[in-house]
């Protein structure tokens, strides 16, 4: 396993290994350059049986997130660069590859409200992993913060789009 300093990515990689899913971890220290411009790397290539190879960008979020207005559930914001760069990767790799966001939710609440029944324990912490196709995410997102150049999908629509990884990867 790669020594990942971001616990969300490390937990996701631990899940992949525990399930025996074939994957390649991308070295995030090496930046790719397209036409002289830097492009953000994705985190994993995940080989799914009978489906396209996934170009995975892991997005770590707390569930629930304690904000100034109280607890917030289903945080799913990404930057426009995340969306655009992952789309560029998918276009570059071509057919047979699909860009996805994996939202790795670190379960910080009491457990009475979970994003899915599938829970993965890693280093004594609990996580859930939800997958959404970048194309679907882009179709339904709206601006969240012009200052941070972020977008989000409404919680009800996100719950429709996102699937637990256990259901998305059919073996």
**Quick check: is 95 in a domain?**
yes
pLDDT of residue 28: 67
Neighbours of 113 (CB within 10 A): 11
- Give Dmax over CA atoms of the chain in angstroms: 49
pLDDT range class, residue 170, cuts 50, 70, 90: low
pLDDT range class, residue 106, cuts 50, 70, 90: very high
Q: Considering the entire predicted model, what is its pTM?
A: 0.92
What pLDDT digit, counting tens, does each position of 6-32 carry? 899 999 999 999 999 999 999 766 656
pLDDT range class, residue 171, cuts 50, 70, 90: low
**Quick check: is 2 in a domain?**
no
pLDDT range class, residue 51, cuts 50, 70, 90: confident
Distance CA(27)–CA(41), nearest Å, equals: 8
Q: What is the CATH number of the domain that holds 32?
A: 3.40.1350.10
User: Is 41 within 8 Å of 31 (Cβ atoms)?
Assistant: yes
pLDDT of residue 64: 87
Q: What is the mean pLDDT of the chain?
A: 90
**Quick check: is 97 in a domain?**
yes
pLDDT of residue 31: 59
Domain count within the chain: 1
pLDDT range class, residue 72, cuts 50, 70, 90: confident
Residue 68 has pLDDT above 90, yes or no: no
Residue 126: which domain range? 7-168
pLDDT of residue 24: 95
**Quick check: is 156 in a domain?**
yes
Residue 141 has pLDDT above 80, yes or no: yes
pLDDT of residue 114: 85
**Quick check: is 1 in a domain?**
no
**Quick check: is 49 in a domain?**
yes
Alpha-carbon distance values, 33 to 24, 98, 120, 127, 141 (Å): 20, 20, 35, 33, 27
**Quick check: is 53 in a domain?**
yes
pLDDT of residue 37: 66
**Quick check: is 141 in a domain?**
yes
């Amino acid at each position: 396993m790669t020594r990942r300093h971001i616990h969300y990515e490390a937990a996701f990689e631990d899940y992949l290994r525990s399930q025996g899913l074939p994957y390649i971890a991308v070295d995030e220290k090496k930046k790719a350059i397209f036409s002289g411009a830097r492009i953000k790397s994705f985190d994993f290539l995940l080989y799914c049986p009978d489906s396209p190879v996934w170009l995975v960008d892991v997005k770590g979020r707390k569930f629930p997130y304690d904000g100034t207005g109280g607890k917030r559930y289903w945080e799913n914001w990404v930057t426009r660069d995340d969306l655009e760069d992952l789309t560029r990767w998918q276009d570059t790799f071509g057919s047979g590859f699909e860009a996805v966001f994996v939202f790795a939710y670190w379960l910080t609440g009491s457990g009475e409200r979970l994003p899915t029944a599938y829970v993965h324990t890693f280093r004594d912490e609990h996580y859930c992993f939800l997958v959404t196709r970048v194309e679907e995410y882009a179709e339904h997102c709206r601006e969240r913060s012009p200052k941070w150049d972020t977008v989000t999908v409404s919680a009800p629509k996100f719950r429709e789009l996102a699937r637990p990884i256990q259901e998305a990867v059919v073996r």
